[in-house]
């Protein structure tokens, strides 16, 4: 197949990532040509606000706020779609594919919500969608799952996929600061969104995990089937107790094959401090994948940020320019037809757990909780209720931490409903699995 | 391009890795077809000893000891060449390419020694060579450098590329055992070759680093231009002193851009114990690679072993079957013509160093050594000469450990020549850079 030596590109969206992509396209022209064998030409830019001052000079390239300038231009081959949101994005990408453009996107929310539909449309239109930047920023994990690990049966994926929540958990422990203070600082520094809800409640990580799970197992897992908890209720106390026991608390995203069923969860989890995942600090991401042949592989690095994400987008651009991306996308489409692996019901996930209750500092509290756990066949491995200032605040309440032996999510949910009714219970009840 | 739905494969070599490849080809037929869109047929096997009992059943497939059964068979598309050594391998692969076969190989010594020649021949014959398994076993680092990081300027590569030596260094410290005992155990368990010279003297790691450096920087670095030291003279004492200071000793392979020059070294190095490289234990490999856009990415996992290496070979097979590998190889060929980056002269590498001397336990030894270091403009940051049993043996010699401030390899070599002449010096003199 003879390729057009020029590759004409439209950039749609020029926020943080789009600006990074434009910078690389402009500064690395010669090395991109050498790597791909083609000359990359940024021909059009579409942004919401044309008048806005930007950190990059487009020279004479037409900048518009109308995506039709791209869909109507037969000379454009490839659209780099780096806009967030779902409903408009769905419409935009649909129109791009329908007008014959190939699409590279970093929008994981879009792929999570409408990936199947957009992939099918791309298949029908004989177009390609690339999305390395949608999961784990600059870490080439989509490529690893789609190419390097293809001869493997994937046994498990364990990952930190949300940099904001990992930054918050790391900083709380390092600085001995409460959740709210660290979140406010992260927002002030621009690490966390003005509305960080999707980062801290596990939605963002769950969307990314769903995309990875689909590629690795051929199974579509909707958010409602993922055991999902956020980090909003985690207190400094929880991190300190975990640290004393040799653990770090991480918002761990897990997909695991267990007896031909798939267990999928995004939960704050106690991970051993001396394991690679436990050591992953700040805004970094890590993906630990176990294949039946390759064994355990770990990939880590910056999970977000302008240039790391732009690096992943540009890897897609080169992959596209050379023709590799179209081949990989055909493989992905073939796998869409795979027989899905049944999901393990949420109640049957079996782990050890860390439980923390805020209780009135009065007699018989522990006995009441232990009784409920016992009746639900949950076996206690250790208990601590310290009298130190760290553990107890001034208002007559104490924190009670219970570690359990292996038990199921279902038993714990039942027990939790009963415990919530106890008159001695105050405020949040924390439940975190322990990864061994 | 319409592809033949059947992909006819010859397996050349059926040792550890070849057996693993044959197992995957036989056991994963359907998933390989789904992943690649083609039906993979193992059609011929070539081994040294046809009569030998093997761990895999080839059924009716012809097994020969003559590679001409492959080169003469026009139906074979692809040869998986998993035989070690250099001179025969060069001849074999040359004949395979000349007879129109594409080649997948795990033989890093061959690629290091004759890669340029074989790549050129493959280019002339319009054939493809794949070699993911040649570096870091199951870790997809060749793919990462060739595809995921292509939009980056690579700033540095730091890696543990030899599992045997990492196993030895880890086990010595964990078990408080001397080098010889651990090496013997590694050999008994089959981790180390009967002749482990290339593993422990840094040759194997240097060959792999040279291959990675060529891909990342377009610069061919022969072994003689790599600052190279093995681990044979490392004593348990060195590991213990390093550990007390917060370091682990790792056989670190490094390529680094510094002021438009390339610094390339394979040396036992003090690496902070809490960094990912310092934490890499046992036979695992890790590659930490810094790109100007992607930032610091880390890839780790099993660097050797039957199934991890076979997994990498099979990733190449699928890449080849889909047509991606041919495209990637064209990119590699384009980069062969790149202008090489000049090498930093070995003498000018600048680091902090750990020095250890075995000295006669007598007056003025430290003064003599300090004087020589001072005259060579090497500034000392700390000294220890302990009286403990760990540090001193029974024979009237003591170990003296000196940590230096930043200085050059050249100054240290000069000082070392003078120190070697001192009458108080006994046995080995150890020099290890400190990675910060």
Is A35 close to B151, i.e. CB distance below 8 A?
yes
Q: A392 φ, ψ to 5°?
A: -125, 135
pLDDT of residue A388: 46
pLDDT at site B338: 79
- Higher-pLDDT residue of B393 and A53 is A53
B288 or B436, which is more confident? B288
Q: Chain B: nearest CA to A338, how far in angstroms?
A: 9
Residue by residue, DSSP assigns A56-105 as S--TT--EES-THHHHT-TT--EEEE----SHHHHHHHHHHHHTT-EEEE
DSSP A387: -
Average pLDDT, rounded, for chain A: 93
- pLDDT > 90: what percent of chain B? 83
pLDDT for A335 equals: 85
How much of chain B exceeds pLDDT 70, in percent? Answer: 97
Q: CB B151 to CB A24 under 8 A?
A: yes
Contact at CB, B305 and A315, closer than 8 angstroms = no
> Does A153 contact B at CB distance below 8 Å?
yes
| Domains of chain B, CATH where assigned | 6-137+308-336 (3.40.50.720), 142-302 (3.30.360.10), 346-435 (3.30.70.260)
Chain B 324-353, residues with CB within 8 Å of chain A CB atoms: 324, 327-328, 330-331, 334-335, 338
Instruction: Using a cut of 0.90, tell me whether the model's pTM lies above it.
Output: yes
Q: Which residue has the higher pLDDT, A76 or A58?
A: A76
pLDDT at B387: 56
Rounded to an integer, the average pLDDT of B196-202 is: 94
Beta-carbon separation of A151 and B35 below 8 A: yes
Which chain A residues contact residue B140 at CB under 8 A? 143-144, 147-149, 297
pLDDT at A324: 96
B93-125 pLDDT per residue, tens: 999 999 999 999 999 999 999 999 999 999 999
**Does the beta carbon of A99 lie under 8 angstroms from any beta carbon of chain B?**
no
What is the separation, in whole angstroms, between the first and last Cα of chain A? 51
Q: Which of B146, B147, B333 to mutate to test the interface with A (most CBs of A within 10 A)?
A: B147
A-chain CB neighbours of B215 within 8 Å are none
Q: Scan residues 208-237 of A and list those with Cβ closer than 8 Å to B.
A: none
Sheet architecture: strand order including B129-130? B63-64, B39-46, B6-12, B78-81, B102-105, B129-130
Closest-approach residue (CA) in chain B for A215 = B35
Give the pLDDT of residue A391: 45
B30-76 tens-digit pLDDT: 989 988 999 999 999 999 999 998 889 898 899 999 999 999 999 99
Mean pLDDT score, B342-349: 94
Q: What is the mean pLDDT of residues A60-84?
A: 97
**Cβ of B294 and A274 within 8 Å?**
no
Secondary structure of residue B116 in the 3-state scheme: helix
pLDDT of residue A389: 46
Dist. CA A306–CA B166, nearest whole Å? 36
**Dihedral angle sign, alpha carbons of residues A94, A99, A102, A105:** negative
Place of tokens 């075995």: B358
- pLDDT of A396 higher than 80: no
């Amino acid at each position: 197949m003879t390729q057009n030596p020029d590759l004409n590109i439209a950039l749609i969206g020029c926020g943080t990532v789009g600006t990074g992509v434009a910078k690389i396209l402009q500064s690395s022209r010669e090395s991109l040509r050498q790597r791909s064998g083609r000359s990359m030409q940024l021909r059009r830019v579409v942004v919401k606000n044309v008048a806005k001052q930007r950190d990059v000079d487009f020279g004479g390239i037409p900048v518009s706020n109308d995506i039709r300038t791209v869909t109507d231009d037969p000379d454009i081959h490839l659209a780099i779609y780096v806009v967030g949101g779902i409903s408009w994005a769905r419409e935009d990408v649909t129109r791009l594919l329908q007008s014959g453009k190939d699409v590279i996107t970093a929008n994981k929310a879009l792929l999570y919500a409408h990936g199947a539909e957009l992939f099918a449309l791309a298949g029908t239109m004989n177009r390609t969608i690339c999305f390395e930047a949608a999961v784990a920023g600059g870490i080439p994990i989509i490529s690893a799952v789609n190419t390097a690990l293809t001869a493997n049966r994937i046994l498990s994926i364990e990952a930190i996929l949300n940099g904001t929540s990992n930054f918050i958990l790391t900083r709380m422990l390092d600085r001995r600061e409460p959740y709210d203070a660290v979140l406010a600082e992260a927002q002030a520094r621009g690490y966390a969104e003005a509305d960080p809800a999707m980062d801290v409640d596990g939605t963002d990580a769950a969307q990314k995990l769903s995309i990875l799970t689909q590629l690795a197992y051929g199974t579509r897992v909707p958010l409602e089937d993922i055991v999902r908890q956020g980090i909003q209720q985690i207190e400094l106390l929880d991190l300190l107790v975990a640290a004393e026991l040799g653990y770090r608390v991480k918002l761990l995203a897990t997909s695991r094959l267990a007896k031909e069923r798939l267990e999928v969860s995004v939960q704050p989890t106690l991970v051993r401090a001396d394991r690679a995942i436990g050591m992953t600090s700040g805004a970094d991401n890590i993906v630990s994948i176990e294949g039946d042949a390759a064994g355990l592989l770990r990939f880590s690095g910056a999970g977000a940020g302008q240039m790391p994400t732009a690096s992943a987008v540009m890897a897609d651009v080169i992959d596209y320019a050379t023709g590799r991306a179209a081949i990989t996308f055909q493989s992905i489409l073939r796998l869409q037809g795979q027989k899905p692996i049944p999901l393990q019901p949420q109640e049957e996930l079996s782990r050890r757990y860390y439980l923390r209750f805020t209780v009135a500092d009065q007699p018989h509290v522990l006995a009441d909780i232990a009784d409920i756990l016992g009746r639900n066949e949950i076996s206690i491995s250790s208990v601590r209720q310290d009298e130190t200032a760290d553990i107890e605040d001034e208002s007559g309440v104490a924190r009670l931490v219970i570690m359990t032996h292996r038990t199921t999510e279902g038993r714990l949910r039942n027990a939790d409903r009963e415990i919530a009714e106890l008159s001695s219970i105050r405020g949040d009840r924390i439940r975190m699995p322990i990864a061994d």
